[in-house]
Amino acid sequence: MKTVLLRMFLLIAVFLTFSQIVQAEENHNQDGKVVYQIHYDYEPIYNLLKVSQKEYDQYWKEGLSIAEMAKKQGISRRDLEGYIVSLHHKEMQKWRNKGALSESGYFDLVYRLKEDIKEFIDRNPNK
């Protein structure tokens, strides 16, 4: 049973990885540098959490963070973090390949990524 659930989770993760899951925007600051921002498409996050938008919204109203929702749904924090990291990695590679993100800018983002992800998944909607 555990093996079947693991295989299902991996299949869902692969599916989500290949779907359109994030959209990034280019913003320019006063120096003309590109500022990396990522806007999450929540549909794949609902799928990862195995909840509908209505259930997600209800959990959010109850004050649950994404990490708490994942735990409630039996998804480990490590798997959740890995999923979000893969979203960022894919998007940052696109930016690097088109020249919009310099090497130093890339490594600066990688350095800050853990804290950004922690803040995103632990965000308490009631604060």
pLDDT in tens, 42-93: 888 899 999 999 999 999 999 999 999 999 999 999 999 998 888 888 888 8
Q: Which amino acid appears at position 84 of this protein?
A: I
Q: Report the run of H or E that residue 26 belongs to, with start and end.
A: strand 22-28
Instruction: Give yes or no for a contact between 28 and 34, defined as CB atoms under 8 angstroms apart.
Output: yes
Per-residue pLDDT, 111: 84
28 pLDDT tier (thresholds 50, 70, 90):
very low
Q: Which of 5-9, 76-80, 110-114 has the lowest mean pLDDT?
A: 5-9
Per-residue pLDDT, 6: 52
Full-model pTM:
0.67
Whether pLDDT at 105 is above 90? no
Instruction: Give yes or no for a contact between 121 and 113, defined as CB atoms under 8 angstroms apart.
Output: no
Cα dist from 58 to 14, 48, 68, 81, whole Å: 27, 16, 13, 22
User: Across-strand partners of 37?
Assistant: 25
User: Across-strand partners of 27?
Assistant: 35
